[in-house]
Amino acid sequence: MPVKDDMQRFAALDIGSNTLLLLIAEVGGGGKLRAVRDECRFGRLGQGVDRSGRLAGEAVERSLAIAREYRQLIDQAGVARVVAVGTQALREAKNASEFVVPAEAILGARIEVVEGEREAALVYRSVVAAFPEMARGELVVADVGGGSTEVIAGRAGAVRSLVSLPIGSVRLTERHLHGDPATAEETQALLADIDRQLGRLDPALAGCGAALVGTAGTATTLASVEQKLRVYDADRVQGFRLSRAGVERQLARYLELTVAEKRHLPGLEPERADVIAAGAAIYARLAGYLAAPELVTSDRGVRWGALLEIVEGAGS
């Protein structure tokens, strides 16, 4: 994979509770990022963390194997610098070092385990860069991960409020959805838990009707399923608009199907089948809380924000 003389390549890893994401991007003379590789693997690092407060041994091993694979891709690409960001599972687990120490040795880079506010700021940065016209008005960005959900409200490109909520697709599935499919009682408990957490948002957001952008795997899955994409296509997902009613329809379907049935839905990665209902529920309840007419999906998130810091000279 040759690199042009005027190009530099950087890599960013987003180490989340459900997935490990790798972005290798090229920076040209104009300072614009172009993805060379954009990879997603399911480490499920947050497995059991909500219950035990610790990383499970098998989750650590899965995720370290992914780190080894990513190191090979980074070396092959001729990357000049690697940045790595760890989120909810690593900031919460008492034994996070059991992953972080060997992973840093594998990657040859420090893993920055960030607080929710820092994670949210990186997400918002990536969305503003991708959708500058939306950022000029009232904008709410939501990043639903496996262990947490970051909600950032902005106006005219500036952040007004930023909250990290301890709810995510893996955490809420493990906490509430034990039936296959979920029972009515489990669904009611799931939605009540989400609504309690949304009560921590700025009250001014309730019913505000702001534009809502969703990043990370749950949002992109909703866009993929709506379009019945047999093969993931980032260009068709980026900027896709899904009505609030469409989000609610997908949620209802996920709640009535078994995990095995969901694995066969076009656009849904089989590894997300067991947790997609909880993730979709967060977006459905948030859209209702905001009175947002639609969900705009973004294929970009923490990894893009981290590389933008480098390109724009904000990284250390």
Whose structure tokens read 């590894």?
271
Q: What is the pLDDT of residues 108-131, one digit of tens each?
A: 999 999 998 898 889 899 998 889
Q: Tell me how many helices (H) and strands (E) the chain has.
A: 14, 11
The CATH number, out of the four listed (3.50.50.60, 3.30.420.150, 3.40.50.720, 3.80.10.10), of the domain defined by the range 117-297: 3.30.420.150
Average of pLDDT values for 164-186? 95
| Mean pLDDT in residue range 20-25 | 96
User: What are the sequence ranges of the domains in the chain?
Assistant: 8-113, 117-297
The domain defined by 8-113 folds into Nucleotidyltransferase; domain 5 (3.30.420)
Mean pLDDT in the chain? Answer: 92
Neighbouring CB atoms inside 10 A of 260's CB total: 11
Please enumerate, as own/partner, the contacts of 156-164 that have beta carbons within 8 Å and a separation of 24 or more.
Answer: 157/128, 157/132, 159/121, 159/124, 160/202, 161/201, 161/202, 161/205, 162/117, 162/120, 162/121, 162/124, 163/116, 163/120, 163/200, 163/201, 163/202, 164/115, 164/116, 164/117, 164/119, 164/120
Q: Residue 261: is its pLDDT beyond 80?
A: yes
Tell whether the model's pLDDT for residue 179 goes beyond 60: yes
In one-letter notation, the amino acid at residue 129 is A
Q: How many CB atoms lie within 10 A of CB 313?
A: 7
Distance from C-alpha of 258 to C-alpha of 255, rounded to nearest angstrom: 8
* Other beta carbons less than 10 A from residue 2's beta carbon: 6
- Please name the amino acid found at residue 260: A
Q: What is the pLDDT of residue 27?
A: 84
pLDDT surpassing 60 at residue 316: no
List pLDDT tens digits, range 207-216: 999 999 999 8
pTM equals 0.87
